[in-house]
Chain A
Amino acid sequence: MLRKFFASRWGIISVGAFIGVFATLLQKWGNPGNMGICVACFERDIAGALGIHRAAVVQYMRPEIIGFVLGALIAAYLFKEFRPRAGSAPIVRFVLGAFAMIGALVFLGCPWRAMLRLAGGDWNAIFGMLGLIGGIWIGTLFLRGGYNLGRTQETYTSVGWLLPLTMLGFLCLMLIFPQVQGQEKSGVLFYSLKGPGSQHAPLFIALGVGLAVGILAQRTRFCTMGAFRDLILFRQTHLFSGVVALVVVAFITNLILKQFHPGFADQPVAHTMEVWNFGGMVLAGLAFALAGGCPGRQLFLAGEGDGDAAVFVLGMIVGAGFAHNFGLASSPKGVGPHGIAAVIIGIIVCLFIGFTMRKKVA
């Protein structure tokens, strides 16, 4: 019964709406503006908390991400869907993850945040969304041409547990080394004293919302990239209705919470360089399309035992390291010194992958 509901259109719409409400509430509870949930930004913050990059304003072990993976793991076990699998072009997934992150950080947000920015009145996100759709459209051309990453293999249960265990380890680190007022380091973890990394909802609320979203999204296969891909590729509106629900409900919740501030200038954690808002998301959209899922979906897949999706997640975290260490990530002032070069290189790498991996599967 429940299984059927989640697979239905009302199932995906409800989950989109749930995410819309709670993402905007997370902003009220402490998360940065229009960043109630941003998978790319939050994985970047995790990279900062671990010291993989040392951008002082974006260092925080985001419990939402931990919750996404563990929630999906719980749902997968409850509904007997945990299937440990791996071995479908892991290095390609790693590279796609890294460049997806770089593209997202040039725009300053993953598809989830692009929608939340839109729902909060940040019109710069319109260019990001157009770029995302453009990138996904290029991805569908490759898919139509026979692009695929090859088959996975069934594997040991422990393989599927590695990323969830890593996340559990991160949570333990957070509990052992909690934030100390006015200190930028607690034990092995880095924390931000100012900037987006210093803005966060209370740990257990963030973790709770993350777990709930993880469970619901695993059940409904919620995917912000798949929404547009299926629409372009098959004229299917199933996943798309989920993201529409997210945007509409987030918009209404923002209105109620007085968090809706329409305009281009002075938007939270955003810049106004249209071309690179667009270009960054072309890269991210293409990378997500070639990897078969948006950054959220990759976390949920990793939670249900997909070791390849786990590699994509690690690619994103490492990509965030490169993005900040090399000056690729944007800031509210505009793109980083090497952001434009990175987007161009990233698109070339994605095209190389797309053109060269077009063997028909037997």
Chain B
Amino acid sequence: MKFRFLTADFMGAFGLPRLERKMVIQALACFGIALLPHIFHLAWWLILMAAGVALWRWASLRKQVRLPPSSFFVFVIPVLLVGIFLTYGTVTGRDGGTGLLVGFFCLKMLELRNRKDFLVVTGVSYALILAGVLFTQSLLMCLYLLFQFWFTTTCLIRVHGRTHDRKSRTAGSLSMSLIWKSLPLTLVLFVFFPRIDAQLRFSPFDPSSGFADSMAPGSVSGAFSDRSMAFRVEFPDGDVPEPEDLYWRGVILSKTEDGMAWERQPFGVQREVRRVSEVTELQAGQVRQRISLIPSFQRWVFALDHPVIWPDSAETHLGGVVGWPYKIRSRLQYEVISDPDHHSQEMGQNILKRYLQLPQERELTPRVRELVKHWRRGGASDEVVVTRAMQYFKDEEFEYTFYPGTYRRRALDQFLFERKLGFCEHYSGSLATLMRVAGIPARVVLGFQGGEMNPYGDFMLVRKQNAHSWVEVWIEGRGWMRVDPTSVIQPMRLTGGMQWLQDLIGRGFGFSIAGLDFYLFAPGWLPDPISEFLDEIRNRIDNLNRVWDEMLGFDYGSQLKLMGNLGIEQSPKTGMVAILVGLAGAIVLVFWAISLRQNLKLRPEDQVLEQLIRKLKRQGVEKSPYEGVQTYLTRAGKEYPDVREVFDQFIHYYHDIKYRTHAAANRETTVQKMKDLLTQTGL
């Protein structure tokens, strides 16, 4: 049997005529459009491969090179699979699956010979639209993907017939009208299809790009230039916290090996907590937040430090970590209440031991121990030690930089006494270790700091670049106190909004590809008015995105609420399915009725003819079913000799429209003439 990749033989792919040149070009366009949204997260070698394939195919169109033989694919497919497995660690899941789809798309382009191959191309394109949505759901991207959907459907229409591009009847316009007509059913399905909250997982797969759950300052973080949204906060009660209180608590890290890198340990469960739904009146100083979080692929969420009243479905961990019962794979909305002045009092012997655990002995060099001992001099209290430590960071020449290089051996020592370069993770990581050495229980908190109020939408946007880490220390009698060493090294970070960052990395539009930053404008290049204008545009787009996100946030909870509003509270899933089937059935029926009617309607010339026949019938000249129009009107002409010529003329026009294309072109005038003749008969 002849080998063919991705085209099953039962589709009858063999022996079909070769694809026309213009269809190959169409497929190439489809290829480009489908791959464009993915180039930012695809492996570099896949992008190279795609470019190569496009060039190869293009050259083969111009008859400069030949397409590869079947044996080529036998060799290349295993290589592709292994390559994808090595790159993504899996061939399923969002990342690996997209890689696989793109790889197969490339190979299929080299094997594009007939119509059936073309169909495979459109199928892969549809699948890639879905993959694109899994990566980002921003408004712009969704609009682009909708465009891709339209284009793919256009391709499908072209391959099935409408190759002619006549005015107002192009494949594109048909595709548009098809999509338009599909919308009602789509919306019904979207609203009433029960969102299954279980995870149908056959293989473990997770995007690699979740939020961090550990801290390794040795690695360079790319998040500082990522302006995309992490989460969005609304304050329903209108009380926006002060900028210095904007610490968004995420997860706590309590274990370190080298004194710089920290990771989390299993959390204990906090009992006797209050839930948002139980609370109606807020106490003074409490802040209610409604947070909309992007998929974090972690099992905790963020809240203003320190959460006091928990989201309804949250898991309550010790340390003020708002846990979630499952990994967050989709947009999540929740409500939480925090009190910036609250200090957690939780402590016990077991916990104390955990927060005093020291890194490995070799990391604690004599200099480090000497430094801590120096802070303790004169039997200073814990509070004094903390103050002295902060003073140390302030007085020594520490520099805040995003590119501190890597610390490998004796990282803590090297950082504190030699290089003194780092960003928040270095400072919080080292401070927490030093505190433990001094006998003060300490832990690192990973979260976000800051946020921008959007003037158009009355919400606060926290971006990925706001990621931050700080330290909490246990002070007897006061509880867990927040200490942020970054604030003394880079105080602007706390007060100046994002201005300090702009100054640091330059002003202008920047974007980042595969960890490399690019700037469209050089730092300081833009005059202030333009820069402000750009900020305004950004704010407006952010606001638009918020509305969009609310639509995307439609989930099982929203469905339950909707069913509640409809008065169906018992067995809502059955209710949903019933409504879904009912409405979908109704839509199908309406469509059926419309399509029945569409072709029953008589054409204008036939309407006129029908009128004449009716009038003649009233006069007693009835048309027999077997009689043709000409015979009938000739017979009528004999009955009415006066208007015989009018009848003849009528037949002439009627035949013109029916059987002569050039007359059919100015159909309207001819029909008008027929109508005039109808009045002339005087019947």
Q: Do A and B come from one complex?
A: no
Which residues of A are interface residues toward B (Cβ below 8 A)? none
